[in-house]
Structure 1
Amino acid sequence: MGAFLDKPKTEKHNAHGAGNGVRYGLSSMQGWRVEMEDAHTAVVGIPRGLDDWSFFAVYDGHAGSRVANYCSSHLLEHITDNEDFRATETPGSALEPTIENVKSGIRTGFLKIDEYMRNFADLRNGMDRSGSTAVAVLLSPGHVYFINCGDSRAVLYRSGQVCFSTQDHKPSNPREKERIQNAGGSVMIQRVNGSLAVSRALGDYDYKCVDGKGPTEQLVSPEPEVYEIVRADEDEFIILACDGIWDVMSNEELCEFVKYRLELADDLEKVCNSVVDTCLHKGSRDNMSIVLVCFQNAPKVSEEAIKKDAVLDKHLESRVEEIMTNAGEEGMPDLAHVMRILAAESIPHLPPGGGLAAKRSVIEEVYNRLNPHRESDGDPTGTEENSAHGKLVEALREVRINHRGNYHELLQEML
C-alpha cells in the first residue's frame, strides 16, 4: 500500500500558460506519500510544423519516479517523431497527419518509449522497478485525442455536463483480466498477481517478461487506448488527474467543483490548488496532480457566485464562533470535533463536489484565531492517523479506495 509520512507535505508545484485558444493551469502535491512520484507535461505548440497543436499529460509513477519523469520529458517526441504519425509528410512539407495517422502514431510512440526505457541499465538489471500510468490529451485545431494507459483519468466538460471520460485500466476489468490470465498471471485482491493495482502502464518490466507474448499481451501492457472527439464551441474544459484525485471525487463531482471555482476566480493555478487541497481534506493519501485546460467557453467569474460564496463563508465563521463560545465546561473543542459538528448540520450552498472539505481553510482560520494556544497534533486534516485507532481507520480507507466496496469478493480471494 506504500509508506506514509506522519504529516502531509502540502507544498505545491504550479505552472500555467496559454496559446492556441486555450489556457491551462496545473498543481501537484506530494501529500502523505513518502516520495513524490507524479510528473506532468504541458506543451502549447508542437515542433515540426504543428504550431497550432497542444499536448498535456499527467503521469502517476509507482515504485519510484524514474519512468514518470522520463516520460514527462520524452513521450511527446516518441509520439510525433515516429513514421506512423508522420506518414502523410512529403519531402519539403509538413502536412497535418490524418486521424488514423495520429491514433496509430500515439500507439507506436507508447510502445517505442516503453521498449527504449527497458534498455536503461537500472531498469534492465532490476535496481529500479518503477512504472507509470499516463493520461494525456493531444489537441489539434479540429479534434481532441484522449490517450490513456493506466488508472489516471481525463474528462471533457461540455455544455454543462461531463461529455466524455477515459476508462481506467484495472486488473479486474474483464478484458484486462483475460489478457493477464492468458499471460499466465492471476488477479488477486484486484491486483496483478496480488501486487500491482493497474493493468496497463509504462515501465513495470517485472510484469513484461513472458516468453512468446508480444508487448501488448504481457501481464501489464504499455498499449494506450486512444479516442478522438471532434471539438465543439460548447467545450468548456478538460481535466487530467491521477488517481489520488479520483479516489475521493467522481467525474461529476470534480467537474462541478472546478466549475464552481472558475466562477470565483480566473486564476487556473489557484483553481487547481483548491482541488488538491480539497482532496487532501476529503481523505486522499496519495500524490495528487491535476492539469486543467480551459477553452474559450469555460465558465467565467460571476459576481453572483462571489456574493453567494461570501455569505457561506460568513455563516461558517459565525457557526465556528458559536461552537467554540458554547463549549462550556467541556473545554475548548479540537478542530476535528468542530468539523464533525458542522458535518452533521444541513448547511446550504456548500461547494458542489467539494462539500465542507472545500471550506476547511475558512473554518481552520477562525478556529486558530479563537484558539491561539492550541496544541498542534501534526495532522492538518483533523483526523487521528497517528493513533492506533487512526492507523486502523486508514487501513480500512485504503481497502475502500482500492477495492471500491467489493468486500465479499475481496474476502473470498483472501481466504
Structure 2
Amino acid sequence: MRTSRKGSVEMPAFVRQLVKETEKRVSSFFKGGRGGAAEGEQTGEGEKEEVIPSPYLDRPVLDKLAEEGCARWGLTYALGSMQGWRTNMEDYHNCVPQLGGELADWSFFAVFDGHAGSTAAQHCSQHLLGHILATGGLGPEDDPDRVKGSLTEGFLQTDKHLHAVARREGWERGGTTVVSALISPYNIYFANCGDSRAVLCRSGQVCFSTEDHKPYSPLEKERIENAGGSVTLQRINGSLAVSRALGDFSYKGAENRSPNEQMVSPEPEVCVVERSPADEFLVLACDGVWDTISNEELCAFIHNRLLVCTDLRDVCSQVIDLCLYKGSLDNISIILLCFPGAPQLSTEALHQEAELEDLLESKVAEIYDELCARGEDPDLLAVLTILASTVIPGLPPGGGIQSKRNCIISAYYQQREMHNPTVPNATEGS
C-alpha cells in the first residue's frame, strides 16, 4: 500500500543564527556584483541607468518541504526541497510510487527545475505523467522499446500542450528541465531533458547517471547553430544555460525544423537499466545539488547516512544542508528512492557517529577556550574556520566537515552559553 506524509520542516534555529551572522557579508557580495548603478542612481549623462534585479535574496529561505512514502513492492522514498538563496522557488516534483491498475508495480518520479519563472515547471509536474500514460506504450509486458518511445512522445506532447497554454495565456518566457525515473518490475527507465540529473547507486558505487544537456556540448552546440543560434559564455545566445527543456518557446521558432531540431529541444534522452538485487538507491535532483557535489561524493554520503538514519526525509535534509554549506545558491530539490537492497541501520556505524560528534564537541570547546585565553572574540565564523583546517578522522565520506556543521554550530552555542549564561541560546526558540 502507498503511504505518504508531507509538510514544511523548519530549519533549526541555530542554523538561522549562522545565516544571520553571515548574511551581511553574503549580501554585500551579491549587491557588489550586480554591475551597474544602484536603483535610481544617476549615470554620467544625468540619466537613470536600468537596474537588473538580483536573482538572490539577502538571506536564504531555509524552510524545507518534505514528503515520504512507499510502494507495496518494497520501494521507499523521500523528497526534500528548499528555496535557498533564490528570490523565488521554481522547483516542482511528482512522486507516484504506484501507477495503479495493471501498472500497480510501476512507479514514477520526477524533478522539474524551472527557470525564468515557475509556470512551466508547475504545469509539467501536473501533466507529464498523464501524457506518457496516454501513449499506451506502458504495459505488463514491459517492452523497453515501446516504453522508451512512450517516454519520448510523452515529453513532446507535454511541450506541445504547454505551448498551447502559453499562447492562450499570453506568455512564452520560461521553461523547465526534467529528470524522471519510471520503475517497472524489471527495468528502470531514465528520461532526462536539461541539467537536472539522476544517479543510481548499486553495491555502494555509482552504476549509472544521466548526462547533462549543456549548450557547449558538441552535439548540442551543433544543433543550436544549425537552428540559427549561437553559444556564447557557455549559454544559448549568451542567455540560456541549458540546451534541452520543456517550454522556452522563444528558442523554438526556427522554421522548417522539427521540435528536436530547435535551439532548445524538448526531446529527452531516454536510457534503460535492468534492475538488480544489488540496487541500493536512486537519486533525482536539480542542479542546485550537482553544482556543489559530484555523483560519487553524493553516492558515498547517502550510503553512509543510511547506516545511521532510518528517516529518509532526514537524509534528504542532510543533503540539502550539505549543498547549502558547500555554496549552492540555487533552489535545492532531491528525491531519494531506496530499493530493498539499500544499506540498513548499523550498530557499528551509529557508535562511530556518536564518537565523531563527541570529538567535534571537544574540538569546539578547545578552540573556544583557546580564543578566549588569547583575548579574542570566539565568534562562530572564527571557530568554523579553525576547525575546517583541523584534521578530523571519521567524517562522513563525500560530506566532509560541511556535513557536520549543524553539530558544530550546536556545540558552539553550548560553549557560548556556558561562558556567558546571560546570552540567549540560539538553539532555542525561533
Number of the residue aligned with 2:412 = 367
Aligned to 1:6: 58
Amino acid at match of 2:388: A
Once residues 43 and 131 of structure 1 are traced to their aligned partners in structure 2, the CA distance between those partners, rounded to angstroms, is: 23
Distance in 1, matches of 2:115 and 2:391, equals 40
Check if 1:203 corresponds to 2:247: yes
In the alignment, what sits opposite 2:297? 253
How big is the shift at 1:3? 1.0
Cα gap change, 1:62/1:123 in structure 2, threshold over 3 Å: closer, same or farther?
farther
C-alpha contact (below 8 Å) 1:200/1:220 kept by paired residues: yes
Other-structure match for 1:185: 229
The secondary structure found in structure 2 opposite 1:175 is helix
Secondary structure in 2 matching 1:60: strand
| 2:215 is equivalent to residue 162 of structure 1 | no
- Displacement of 1:121 after TM fit? 4.2
Q: Which moved more, 1:267-276 or 1:322-331?
A: 322-331
Evaluate the alpha carbon distance shift between residue 104 and residue 375 of structure 1 in structure 2; reply closer, same or farther with a 3 A threshold.
Answer: farther
In the TM superposition, residue 371 of structure 1 has moved relative to its aligned partner by 2.4
- Aligned pairs for 1:235-246 within 5 A: 235-246=279-290
Please list, as runs of the form range in 1=range in 2, the aligned pairs for 1:345-356 lying within 5 A after superposition: 345-356=390-401
Distance change in 2, residues 1:368/1:204 (3 Å): same
> How far apart are residue 70 of structure 1 and its match?
1.2
Task: Provide the C-alpha distance between the structure 2 equivalents of 1:144 and 1:375, rounded to a whole number of angstroms.
Answer: 54
Aligned counterpart, 1:226: 270
Q: Secondary structure at the match of 1:116?
A: helix
Work out the CA distance in 2 between the residues paired with 1:37 and 1:334. 35
Shift of 1:95: 4.8
Give the superposition deviation at 1:47. Answer: 3.8
Unaligned runs of 5+ in 1: 87-93, 379-415
Separation (CA, whole Å) in 2 of partners of 1:375 and 1:124: 54
Q: Which range moves more in the overlay, 343-352 or 161-170?
A: 343-352
What is the letter of the counterpart of residue 304 of structure 1?
E
Q: Deviations over 1:342-377 (max 9, x none)?
A: 11111111111111111111110111222257999x
Q: Does the 8 A contact of 2:142 with 2:184 survive in 1?
A: no
Does the C-alpha gap of structure 1 residues 375 and 39 become closer, same or farther in structure 2, counting only changes over 3 Å?
farther
Give the AA of the match of 2:82: M
Aligned to 1:66: 119
8 Å CA contact 2:106–2:182 kept in 1: the answer is: yes
**Counterpart for residue 56 of structure 1:** 109
- 1:108 alignment partner, one of 121, 130, 153: 153
The residue correspondences of 1:35-184 to structure 2 (distance < 5 A) are 35-83=88-136, 85=137, 95-121=140-166, 125-126=170-171, 129-184=173-228
2:382 — aligned with what? Answer: 337
1:312-370 deviation per Cα after TM superposition (whole angstroms, max 9, x unaligned): 11111111111111113442222122111111111111111111111111110111222
1:98–1:247 distance in 2 versus 1, CA, 3 Å: same
> How many pairs are equivalent?
368
Question: 1:46 offset after TM fit, Å?
Answer: 1.2
- Specify whether residues 149 and 121 from structure 1 end up closer, same or farther in structure 2 by C-alpha distance, changes over 3 A only: closer
Distance in 2, matches of 1:153 and 1:371, equals 42
- Residue aligned with 2:67, SS: strand
Unaligned runs of 5+ residues in structure 2 are 1-33, 35-53
Separation of aligned partners in 1, 2:85 and 2:423: 21
What is the CA distance between 1:130 and its match in structure 2? 1.6
Q: C-alpha distance in 2, partners of 1:133/1:183?
A: 20
Are 1:32 and 2:85 an aligned pair?
yes
Deviations 1:223-255, CA, capped at 9 Å, x for gaps: 000101111111111000000001110000001
Amino acid at match of 1:113: T
CA distance 1:375–1:285, change in 2 (3 Å): farther
What's the % identity of the aligned pairs? Answer: 51
